[in-house]
């Protein structure tokens, strides 16, 4: 379900716990200097008004200003970029210019807030996203080929549940 | 009743087959699109059922993905949707 | 009604979906199939990658790499997105004249007449010293050659300079003082056989991505390949290095002398080579003096690795290791760029790189070469080779040399001793004199109001009412337009035909692929029109188009070491570039200069394998150059060092790259890179606004905190016209090359 798959601001708890705690006060969106945080519209009362990030529009630049202002700790008060834990980015190698092999592009690497940790240039030649990726969506935003997708933590968890359920 | 449109992605090979199977639905108007191989489905159903319709589309053989493009529920606000 | 309304909603629903498909995917697919492909060269850096321009419906639809050129079909992102630049709505389409403070549309007649009249008046009133031409390493070879000839031979003014003065004058000085002739002796192909790369003052990864890819691939294919990077920043280039020396900026002379010290000390020098092909020299009281090997070794004795380590702030062992890697490899290639050139000891630093190659004999052999990288696509071919600088004449000749002047007078059909014998004003001097002794200036294809160092000082002159400034430009938003009195809209890139000469002496023809927008004209025609109206002798400019100019320049080259007489227009049309020397039409071009059997300028029966024919004694010079610090060192008031440079997708002043939505989105505004330790001390967090103050100006930039800069150093890119980093940089120049020291100035850093 699409509602389970939103990219939440940095420090967000697991989706179920996050939704329990989030009181839709909007303070995280107010403090965000980049306008990265938008509030969910729609007709699901559970998710209406909750903060999310749409990386293709404006990604999260990991300034880490929003987690401490959350009054209910729906966002854990983390301040280290490496602990933002929003999700993980994935490169579609069949679309990526560099993997495709005709254009040498490394914009994602250059713009990654955790450059050389979350995205490394393997042997100087190919961008590789590592486990250190926190899913801020900057690479998805700047990719000239739209070859990167940020997978929210919630979707990862949902997928894990499906796999753990014996492949049902 | 709500009105919604979906973009249904498929492959060039499966386009005709998907069109045929979707055209059997009475609640849908189907418009095929060659490049990229897609179909646009306009659906008229109560909003509560739309998710199920989306799942049905997804389950249709040959469909790669389904995306919602438009949703209008104005008429349900008058109480119709509660029925 | 209800039914109609619902039908309408259903129609809207269908349209919403179809619009997305129609605009989202359908259009892209149509664009992706051009009608024809036209060969050319990338418009950006000096790598000079070959491109194929895809034309559809008379417009550039897409750009891909030329598989037959050195880049083998690869391009970096900038090059691949050139279609957005040429199709930009910001293109200039009509001439403009400043009236009452604003630029208004004018006819070609008005603009040409006004400019010619103002130049003629200035010449009559103040003489040839009062007019000037400021060119570009991005102009075509034909344009630079023509402008040079118009001003030096036609108007008798040697005030002909260009932006290569800002980017590679020191490399010219280095090559000329060491080898007697300009331009590298090797080619990009050396990268495939080198076993050790010595990269100093170049962020190849960002600034020459395709060359970086080539050397990274070389390292990947052979793990024994070693890469040494000398750079105060932990750049992406440094990240693939086996040895990174993050030296304090401006200490490279001490470092390289220390490396030479180690090489002799460890007896890793090639005495057979330097005994036969090298003469040692030093400047004494401003004059070059012959020295001996012993003198050189005595001189080097002062540069122990320990002493250099203290100056450079890197471990002495690293210096020893670098020297050993350099000298022990089977083939070593040095690469450098602005880090060495944009220095007040730029020429000296260049000399010292050459020294390392000459004492180890790692030169003029496959994989062994000292190779200067170039920032602009035609600085080498267009400006250096055609001599379009204030002290040069075509083909490596000097204005100050009477013999050289007489040669050119004969070639150009001028009376003997009629060329102006006094070298003209170099870039910063030219702009410093603007409005004062220089009254009329023509600028071609460059954006000095953003790219000059300490730029506020020079824009003050650009504002003066006593000056007249005409510019030939393609884009309406270039910073320099703000100061221009007349603007000529120029045909851009593949809208006209002409030659680009890349960093490896490769000349390549850009063929005309599309028509220029509006009334824009090729710069060659604008220059010819202006010259005719200024009253330049028509015999000097008997040209109709760039092909005519190429024919003349090709013929002239045969009388110099740049000999490329074999590169006819037809041949350039068929090939993806040729490397000079190329004296005859059946000559394949030259990969290694100064080597018998490779270089056609070395006679086949020359007794020695190597012949540095640029110097009278046939030997290359090893210069004794002592260490000297930068012009402005950090102090208590301004404790940090500011260095400037580029980021991967933006190019120079951004007038082109900012036209590309993908790039504008990824690199919107300039930033400042601060070391994490310094940031912690100053209370600066990532993304905070940081104020930079220098003696010349101040600027607020957003911080990018990390480990890239060494402590005490901050870095800012110069592409952003809204944040002119060059308002902060220092305009002290190298005494020999007159190149400014963009790379080092003292700065105060504080949280804004």
3-class secondary structure for chain A?
Answer: CHHHHCCCCCCECCHHHHHHHCCCCCHHHHHCCCCCEEECCCCCCCCCCCEEECCCCCCCCCCCCHHHHCCCCCECCCCCHHHCCCEEEEECCCCCHHHHCCEECCHHHHHCCCECCCEEEECCCEEEECCCCCCCCHHHHHCCCCCEEEEEHHHHHHHHHHHHCCCC
Q: In this predicted model, what pLDDT tens digit does every residue of B22-59 receive, in sequence order?
A: 888 888 888 887 777 888 898 888 888 888 888 888 88
Per-residue model confidence (pLDDT) at position A3: 42
Task: For residue C119, give every residue at least 6 positions away whose Cβ sits within 8 Å of its Cβ, in sequence order, or none.
Answer: C131, C155, C440, C442, C468, C530, C534
Catalytic pick among C345, C376, C450, C739: C376
- pLDDT tier at B78, thresholds 50, 70, 90: low
Catalytic pick among C62, C74, C76, C168: C168
Tell me how far apart the alpha carbons of residues C379 and C386 are, in angstroms, rounded to a whole number.
10
Nearest to C507 by CA among C64, C183, C207: C183
Q: Chain A contacts of C74, Cβ < 8 Å?
A: 101-104
Contact C7, C14 (CB under 8 A): no
Interchain CB distance below 8 Å, B5 and C16: yes
Is C9 in CB contact (< 8 Å) with chain B? yes
Catalytic pick among C207, C338, C408, C709: C338
Is B47 in CB contact (< 8 Å) with chain A? yes
Taking a contact as any Cβ pair under 8 Å apart, which residues of chain A between 11 and 40 contact chain C? 33
Active site residue C430: no
Question: Above 0.85 for ipTM, yes or no?
Answer: no
Nearest Cβ partner for C649 among A101, A107, A141 = A107
| Maximal C-alpha separation, chain A | 49
H or E element, residue C645: strand C640-645
CA distance B44 to chain C (A): 8
Active site residue C601: no
Domains in chain A: ranges and CATH: 2-81 (3.30.70), 86-153 (3.30.70.20)
pLDDT at B82 over 60: no
Per-residue model confidence (pLDDT) at position C267: 96
Task: Please give the average pLDDT of every successive group of 10 residues along chain C, which has 752 residues.
Answer: 66 75 47 84 95 94 94 93 94 95 96 97 96 96 96 96 94 95 95 96 95 94 95 95 96 97 96 96 93 96 97 97 97 96 96 97 96 94 94 93 95 95 95 95 95 94 95 95 96 95 95 96 96 94 95 93 94 94 95 95 95 95 96 96 94 92 91 96 93 96 94 95 94 94 96 92
CA distance C241 to chain A (A): 10
Interchain CB distance below 8 Å, A1 and B51: yes
Active site residue C167: yes
Tell me how far apart the alpha carbons of residues A16 and A20 are, in angstroms, rounded to a whole number.
6
Nearest CA in chain C to B75: C6
Interchain CB distance below 8 Å, C687 and A61: yes
Q: Chain B contacts of C12, Cβ < 8 Å?
A: 70, 72
Q: In this predicted model, what pLDDT tens digit does every residue of A61-108 receive, in sequence order?
A: 999 999 999 999 999 999 999 999 999 999 998 889 999 888 999 999
Encoded tokens for C321: 């290791």
Interchain CB distance below 8 Å, B47 and A43: yes
| Chain A interface with B: residues with Cβ < 8 Å | 1, 43
Mutate to test the interface with B, among A2, A41, A56 (most CBs of B within 10 A): A2
Contact C450, C482 (CB under 8 A): no
Per-residue model confidence (pLDDT) at position C32: 61
Query: Do β-strands B2-10 and B63-72 pair in parallel, antiparallel, or remain unpaired?
Result: antiparallel
Is C1 in CB contact (< 8 Å) with chain B? no
Q: How far is CA B24 from CA A86, B17, B20, B28, in A?
A: 42, 11, 7, 8
- pLDDT tier at B10, thresholds 50, 70, 90: confident
User: In the block, which residue shows the tokens 């496959």?
Assistant: C366
Per-residue model confidence (pLDDT) at position B67: 84
Nearest to C520 by CA among C493, C546, C491: C491
Tell me how far apart the alpha carbons of residues C367 and C333 are, in angstroms, rounded to a whole number.
6
Nearest to C94 by CA among C113, C110, C108: C108
Of chain A, the percentage scoring pLDDT greater than 90 comes to 71
Per-residue model confidence (pLDDT) at position A168: 37
Tell me how far apart the alpha carbons of residues C119 and C488 are, in angstroms, rounded to a whole number.
15
Per-residue model confidence (pLDDT) at position A167: 40
Within a 10 A sphere around the Cβ of C711, how many other Cβ atoms?
14
Is A99 in CB contact (< 8 Å) with chain C? no
Contact C10, B29 (CB under 8 A): yes
Provide the sign of the torsion angle of the four alpha carbons A109, C698, C248, C178, taken in this order: positive
Q: How far is CA C242 from CA A79, B15, C303, C325, C453, in A?
A: 34, 54, 24, 10, 34
Per-residue model confidence (pLDDT) at position C28: 47
Mutate to test the interface with C, among B40, B57, B67 (most CBs of C within 10 A): B40
Q: What is the DSSP letter of C129?
A: G
Nearest to A141 by CA among A62, A32, A67, A26: A62
Active site residue C416: no
Per-residue model confidence (pLDDT) at position A162: 65
Tell me how far apart the alpha carbons of residues C571 and C588 are, in angstroms, rounded to a whole number.
11
Side-by-side strand order, sheet with B2-10:
B28-33, B38-45, B2-10, B63-72
Active site residue C464: no
Query: What would the CATH number be for the domain defined by B2-82?
Result: 3.30.70.920
Q: Chain B contacts of C25, Cβ < 8 Å?
A: 35-36
CA distance C532 to chain A (A): 45
Helix, strand, coil % in chain C, rounded to nearest 5:
35, 20, 40
Active site residue C78: yes
Interchain CB distance below 8 Å, A102 and C65: yes
pLDDT at B83 over 50: no
- End-to-end distance of chain B based on CA atoms, in angstroms? 10
């Amino acid at each position: 379900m699409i509602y389970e798959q939103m990219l939440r601001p940095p420090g967000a708890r697991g989706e179920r716990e996050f939704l329990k705690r989030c009181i839709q006060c909007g303070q995280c969106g107010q403090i965000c200097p980049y306008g990265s945080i938008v509030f969910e519209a729609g007709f699901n009362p559970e998710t209406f008004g909750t903060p999310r990030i749409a990386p293709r529009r404006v990604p999260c630049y990991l300034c880490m200003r929003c987690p401490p202002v959350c009054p209910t700790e729906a966002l854990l008060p983390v301040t280290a970029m490496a602990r933002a834990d929003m999700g993980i980015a994935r490169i579609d190698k069949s679309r990526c210019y560099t993997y495709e092999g005709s254009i040498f592009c490394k914009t994602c690497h250059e713009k990654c807030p955790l450059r050389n940790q979350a995205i490394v240039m393997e042997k100087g030649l190919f961008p590789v996203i590592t486990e250190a990726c926190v899913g801020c969506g900057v690479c998805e935003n700047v990719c000239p080929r739209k070859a990167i997708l940020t997978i929210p933590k919630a979707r990862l968890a949902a997928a894990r549940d499906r796999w753990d359920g014996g492949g049902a | 009743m709500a009105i919604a449109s979906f973009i249904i992605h498929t492959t060039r090979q499966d386009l005709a087959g998907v069109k045929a199977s979707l055209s059997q639905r009475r609640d849908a108007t189907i418009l095929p699109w060659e490049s990229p191989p897609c179909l646009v489905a306009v659906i008229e159903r109560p909003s509560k059922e739309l998710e199920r319709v989306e799942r049905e589309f997804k389950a249709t053989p040959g469909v790669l993905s389904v995306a919602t493009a438009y949703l209008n529920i104005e008429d349900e606000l008058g109480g119709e949707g509660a029925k | 009604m209800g039914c109609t309304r619902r039908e309408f909603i259903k129609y809207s629903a269908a349209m919403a979906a179809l619009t997305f498909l129609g605009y989202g995917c359908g259009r892209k697919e149509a664009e992706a199939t051009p009608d024809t492909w036209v060969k050319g060269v990338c418009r950006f850096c000096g790598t000079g990658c070959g491109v194929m321009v895809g034309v559809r419906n008379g417009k550039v639809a897409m750009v891909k790499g030329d598989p037959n050129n050195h880049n083998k079909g690869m391009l970096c992102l900038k090059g691949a997105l050139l279609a957005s630049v040429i199709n930009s709505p910001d293109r200039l389409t009509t001439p403009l004249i400043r009236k009452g403070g604003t630029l208004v549309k004018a006819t070609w007649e008005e603009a040409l007449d006004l400019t010619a009249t103002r130049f003629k008046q200035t010449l009559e009133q103040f003489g040839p010293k009062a007019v000037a031409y400021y060119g570009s390493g991005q102009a075509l070879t034909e344009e630079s050659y023509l402008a040079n000839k118009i001003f030096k031979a036609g108007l008798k003014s040697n005030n002909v300079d260009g932006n290569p003065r800002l980017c590679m004058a020191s490399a010219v000085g280095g090559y000329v003082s060491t080898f007697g002739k300009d331009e590298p002796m090797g080619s990009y192909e050396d990268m495939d056989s080198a076993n050790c790369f010595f990269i100093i003052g170049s962020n190849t990864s960002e600034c020459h991505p395709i060359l970086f890819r080539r050397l990274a691939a070389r390292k990947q294919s052979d793990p024994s390949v070693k890469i040494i990077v000398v750079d105060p920043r932990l750049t992406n280039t440094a990240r693939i290095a086996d040895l990174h020396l993050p030296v304090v900026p401006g200490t490279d002379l001490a470092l390289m002398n220390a490396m030479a010290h180690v090489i002799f000390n460890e007896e890793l020098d090639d005495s057979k080579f330097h005994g036969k092909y090298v003469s040692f020299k030093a400047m004494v009281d401003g004059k070059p003096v012959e020295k001996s090997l012993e003198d050189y070794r005595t001189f080097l004795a002062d540069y122990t690795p320990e002493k250099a380590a203290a100056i450079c702030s890197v471990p002495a062992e690293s210096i020893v290791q670098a020297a050993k890697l350099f000298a022990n490899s089977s083939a070593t290639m040095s690469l450098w760029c602005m880090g060495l050139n944009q220095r007040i000891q730029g020429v000296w630093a260049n000399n010292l790189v050459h020294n390392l190659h000459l004492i180890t004999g790692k030169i003029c052999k496959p994989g062994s070469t000292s190779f200067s990288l170039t920032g602009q696509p035609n600085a080498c071919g267009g400006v250096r080779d055609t001599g379009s600088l204030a002290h040069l004449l075509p083909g490596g000749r000097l204005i100050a040399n009477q013999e050289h002047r007489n040669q050119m007078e004969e070639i150009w059909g001028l009376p003997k001793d009629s060329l102006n014998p006094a070298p003209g004003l170099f870039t910063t001097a030219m702009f410093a004199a603007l409005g004062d002794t220089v009254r009329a200036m023509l600028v071609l294809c460059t954006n000095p109001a953003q790219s000059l160092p300490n730029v506020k000082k020079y824009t003050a002159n650009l504002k003066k009412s006593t000056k007249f400034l005409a510019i030939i430009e393609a884009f309406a938003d270039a910073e320099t337009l703000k100061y221009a009195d007349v603007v000529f809209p120029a045909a851009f890139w593949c809208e006209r035909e002409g030659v680009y000469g890349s960093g490896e002496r490769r000349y390549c023809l850009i063929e005309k692929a599309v028509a220029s927008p509006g009334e824009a004209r090729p710069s060659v025609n604008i220059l010819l029109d202006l010259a005719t109206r200024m009253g330049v002798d028509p015999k000097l400019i008997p040209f109709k188009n760039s092909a005519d100019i190429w024919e003349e320049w090709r013929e002239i080259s045969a009388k110099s070491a740049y000999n490329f007489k074999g590169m006819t227009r037809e041949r350039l049309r068929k090939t993806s570039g040729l490397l000079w020397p190329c004296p005859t039409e059946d000559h394949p071009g030259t990969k290694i200069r100064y080597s018998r059997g490779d270089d056609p300028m070395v006679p086949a029966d020359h007794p020695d394998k190597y012949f540095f024919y640029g110097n009278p004694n046939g030997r290359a010079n090893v210069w004794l150059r002592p260490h000297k610090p930068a012009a402005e060192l950090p102090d208590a008031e301004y404790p940090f060092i500011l260095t400037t440079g580029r980021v991967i997708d933006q190019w120079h002043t951004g007038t082109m790259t900012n036209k590309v939505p993908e790039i504008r989105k990824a690199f919107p505004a300039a930033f400042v890179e601060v070391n994490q330790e310094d940031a912690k001390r100053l209370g600066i967090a990532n993304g905070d606004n940081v104020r930079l103050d220098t003696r010349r100006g101040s600027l607020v930039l957003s911080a990018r905190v990390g480990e890239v800069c060494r402590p005490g150093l901050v870095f800012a890119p110069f592409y952003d016209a809204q944040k002119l980093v060059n308002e902060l940089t220092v305009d002290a120049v190298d005494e020999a090359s007159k190149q400014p020291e963009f790379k080092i100035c003292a700065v105060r850093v504080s949280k804004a």
